[in-house]
């Protein structure tokens, strides 16, 4: 395939763009989508940008039966100068290939995938919302499309990118969320697929989340699947705790997602000389830190969630209220700096921004 040829079929669907201050997360989609096919004989081929539309897929396509699929999430931002820019997109593309490897999906050409994403975002640039805290969420994903019911890696795939103008992921916005610590169910285990961004991990998380949603919890906090003791992640974000002035985040262990925002938070903290450590941390240690007054702050970090302060953790019936359920200073500084860089309102000393 000529790596840089993407056929474009423009359209104007006449869809009405949503008001940017009324946006939810992930319910509205733009005019166009990117799609590219894979077959064992041709490799990745037939890259095209077409009007956003339903897919025509055989009901026996393997993705429906065995879940062989991966996805990513990144965002495009509207700058004060009217440009569109992406935040660390190469990290997402490196990660989709790590997920591909785990799920036996053929590798993508990362440079070409970035080129495709930029071209798609450029075409639907007018869909990038402008209100504070809004952005254009980019969802690249790969599905296995071979019509076959045997359990084996598919020989056909589609790589698709869709775009959705979004507001805050949690209805709380930048206000602290309540999280329930999950004791019964596990999300994944080391050696499983936890480090990959694959739909099954999210399907496995729904039951626990459903059980607490009516009690006002935004999400659940997952503990390790073996000892049920060590803190892992929330599912839509990685977690950080400020204990005695030091920021602690669970070390990557094979079942925790290697978040791009997580990595950016660690780099920012180091840049500011704020002590940060990646290590195992148990729920008991966190509880004790709360009891002796050394747990100062907690927050989650993710592309969709950005920086989301955690005001309450409920564990075995105990309500651990953190920082009086108010946004802490580290969360605030991280949120302001990250969004400042993402929206082009602040200098980017790290080279994280990629113009469209
Ligand atoms: C993201 O932050 O982009 C995620 O993938 C979380 C998502 C499942 C909403």
Mutational pocket test of ligand 1: of 236, 263, 300, the residue with most ligand atoms within 8 Å of the beta carbon: 236
Please answer whether residues 246 and 302 qualify as being in contact, where contact means their C-beta atoms are separated by less than 8 angstroms.
Answer: no
DSSP string, 267-321: HHHHHTT--EEEE--BHHHHHHHHHTT-EEEEEEEETTTEEEEEEEEEETTEEEE
Domain membership of residue 349 (yes or no) is no
In this structure, what DSSP letter does residue 345 have?
Answer: S
Structure tokens belonging to residue 344: 């082009």
Same-domain check for residues 192 and 96: no
- Spatial distance between the Cα atoms of 131 and 108, rounded to a whole number of angstroms: 34
What's the pLDDT score for residue 84? Answer: 97
Residue 318 domain-assigned (yes or no): yes
Q: Which of 302, 306, 307, 342 to mutate to test the pocket of ligand 1 (most atoms within 8 A of CB)?
A: 302
Whether residues 114 and 199 fall in one domain: no
How confident is the model over 180-212, as pLDDT tens digits? 999 999 999 989 999 999 999 999 999 999 999
Report the number of distinct structural domains present in the chain. Answer: 2
Q: Percentage of the chain with pLDDT > 70?
A: 99
Decide if 104 is inside a domain. Answer: yes
What sections of the chain are H helices per DSSP?
Answer: 62-66, 89-102, 110-123, 199-203, 206-213, 260-271, 283-291, 329-342
- Domain stops at, among 108, 138, 168: 168
pLDDT for 224 equals 96
Residue 269 CB partners (closer than 8 Å, separation 6+)? 247, 275, 276, 330, 334
Asked, for residue 351, whether it belongs to a domain, the answer is: no
Question: How far apart are the C-alpha atoms of 294 and 282, rounded to whole Å?
Answer: 15
Q: Mark whether 184 and 333 lie in a shared domain.
A: yes
Q: From 212, 181, 169, select the one nearest 285 (Cα to Cα).
A: 181
In short, whether 209's Cβ falls inside 6 Å of ligand 1 is no
Is the pLDDT at 2 greater than 70? The verdict is no
Of the residues 69, 259, 303, 305, which should be mutated to test ligand 1's pocket, given the most ligand atoms within 8 Å of the CB?
303
Does residue 352 lie within any of the structural domains? Answer: no
Residue from 73, 171, 220, 234 whose mutation best tests the ligand 1 pocket (most atoms within 8 A of CB): 73
- What CATH number does residue 32 fall under? 3.30.470.10
- State the Cα–Cα distance between residues 20 and 35, nearest whole angstrom: 27
Residue 36, pLDDT > 60, answer yes
Predicted local confidence at residue 190, as pLDDT: 86
The residue out of 148, 168, 188 marking a domain boundary is 168
Are 81 and 204 within one domain?
A: no
In Å, how far from its chain's centre is CA 61?
Answer: 26
Is residue 334 over pLDDT 60?
yes
What tens digit of pLDDT does each residue of 61-84 get? 999 999 999 999 999 999 999 999
What does DSSP say about strands 295-302 and 238-243: parallel, antiparallel, or unpaired? antiparallel
Per-residue pLDDT, averaged over 216-238, amounts to 94
Nearest residue (CA) to ligand 1, atom 8: 236
pLDDT of residue 15: 83
Same domain, 14 and 143: yes
- Mean pLDDT on 246-251: 98
Q: Which percentage of the chain shows pLDDT scores above 90?
A: 91
Domain for residue 83, yes or no?
A: yes
pLDDT digits (tens, 9 = 90+) for 145-177: 999 999 999 999 999 999 999 998 988 888 899
From 144, 168, 192, the end of a domain falls on 168
Instruction: State the ipTM, two decimals.
Output: 0.94
Using a 6 Å cutoff on CB, does residue 135 contact ligand 1?
no
With a 6 Å cutoff on the Cβ, whether 168 touches ligand 1 is no
Question: How far is CA 68 from its chain centroid?
Answer: 19
Which residues partner with 316 through β-bridges? none
Domain for residue 103, yes or no? yes
Q: Would strands 177-181 and 306-315 be described as parallel, antiparallel, or unpaired?
A: parallel
Closest atom of ligand 1 relative to the 261 alpha carbon: 2
How much is the average pLDDT of 264-284? 98
**pTM (2 d.p.):** 0.95
Instruction: Please give the pLDDT value at position 170.
Output: 85
Work out the burial of residue 54: count CB atoms within 10 Å of its CB; fewer than 13 is exposed, 13-18 middle, 19 or more buried.
Answer: exposed
User: Would you say residue 315 has pLDDT above 80?
Assistant: yes
On the question of pLDDT at 13 being above 80, the answer is no
| 28 part of a folded domain | yes
| Residues 287 and 234 reside in one and the same domain | yes
What mean pLDDT is predicted for residues 233-256?
Answer: 96
19 and 133, same structural domain?
Answer: yes
**What separation in Å is there between the alpha carbon of 294 and the centre of ligand 1?**
30
Beta carbon of 328 within 6 Å of any ligand 1 atom: no
- As a whole number, mean pLDDT of residues 22-43 equals 96
Range scoring the smallest mean pLDDT among 16-25, 125-134, 193-202, 205-214: 16-25
Q: What is the domain extent for residue 295?
A: 177-343
Whether the per-residue pLDDT at 309 is higher than 80: the answer is yes
Query: What is the C-alpha R_g of the chain?
Result: 21
- Taking 3-state DSSP, the helix, strand and coil percentages for the chain, each rounded to the nearest 5, stand at 25, 30, 45
Please give the mean pLDDT across all residues of the chain: 95
Which pLDDT band, with edges at 50, 70 and 90, does 4 fall under?
low
CATH number, residue 299 = 3.20.10.10
User: Is 181 within 8 Å of 221 (Cβ atoms)?
Assistant: yes
Which residue from 270, 182, 197, 196 is spatially nearest to 232, judged by alpha carbons? 182
The residue whose C-alpha atom lies closest to atom 6 belonging to ligand 1 is 236
- pLDDT above 60 (res 353): yes
| Same domain as 149, residue 29 | yes
Q: Are residues 78 and 121 in the same domain?
A: yes
Least confident of 42-56, 162-176, 268-282: 162-176
At 137, give phi and psi (nearest 5°): -80, 130
Q: Give per-residue burial for 107-146: e unless 16+ CB within 10 Å, then b.
A: ebeeebbbebbbbbbebbbebbbeeebbbbbbbbbbbbbb
30 lines ligand 1 (CB under 6 A): no
Same domain, 67 and 160: yes
Whether residues 290 and 190 share a domain: the answer is yes
Q: Is residue 205 within 8 Å of 187, Cβ to Cβ?
A: yes
Statement to judge: residues 190 and 338 lie in one domain = yes
């Amino acid at each position: 395939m000529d790596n840089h040829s993407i056929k474009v079929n423009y359209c104007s669907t006449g869809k009405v763009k949503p008001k940017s201050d009324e946006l939810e997360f992930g319910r509205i989609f733009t005019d166009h989508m990117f799609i590219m096919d894979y077959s064992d004989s041709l490799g990745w081929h037939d890259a095209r940008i077409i009007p956003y539309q339903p897919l025509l897929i055989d009901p026996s396509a393997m993705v429906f039966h065995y879940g062989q699929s991966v996805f990513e999430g990144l965002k495009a931002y509207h700058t004060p100068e009217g440009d569109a820019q992406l935040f660390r997109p190469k990290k997402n593309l490196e990660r989709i290939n790590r997920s591909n490897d785990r799920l036996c999906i053929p590798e993508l050409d990362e440079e070409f995938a970035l080129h495709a994403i930029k071209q798609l975002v450029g075409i639907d640039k007018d869909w990038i919302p402008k209100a504070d805290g809004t952005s254009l969420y980019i969802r690249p994903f790969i599905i296995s499309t071979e019509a076959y019911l045997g359990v084996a890696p598919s020989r056909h795939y589609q790589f698709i990118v869709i775009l959705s103008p979004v507001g805050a992921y949690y209805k709380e916005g930048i206000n602290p969320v309540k999280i329930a610590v999950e004791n019964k169910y596990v999300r994944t285990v080391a050696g499983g697929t936890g480090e990959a961004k694959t739909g099954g991990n999210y399907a496995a998380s729904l039951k626990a989340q459903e059980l607490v949603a009516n009690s006002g919890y935004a999400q659940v906090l997952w503990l390790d699947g073996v000892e049920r003791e060590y803190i892992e992640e929330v599912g839509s974000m990685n977690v950080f705790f400020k204990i005695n002035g030091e920021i602690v985040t669970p070390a990557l262990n094979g079942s925790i997602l290697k978040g791009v925002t997580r990595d950016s938070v660690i780099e920012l903290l180091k840049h500011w000389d704020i002590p940060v450590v990646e290590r195992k941390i148990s729920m008991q240690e966190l509880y004790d830190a709360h009891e002796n007054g050394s747990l100062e702050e907690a927050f989650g970090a993710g592309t969709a969630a950005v920086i989301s302060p955690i005001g309450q953790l409920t564990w075995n019936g105990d309500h651990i209220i953190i920082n009086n359920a108010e946004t802490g200073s580290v969360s605030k500084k991280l949120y302001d700096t990250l969004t400042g860089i993402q929206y082009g309102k602040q200098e980017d000393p790290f080279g994280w921004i990629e113009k469209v």
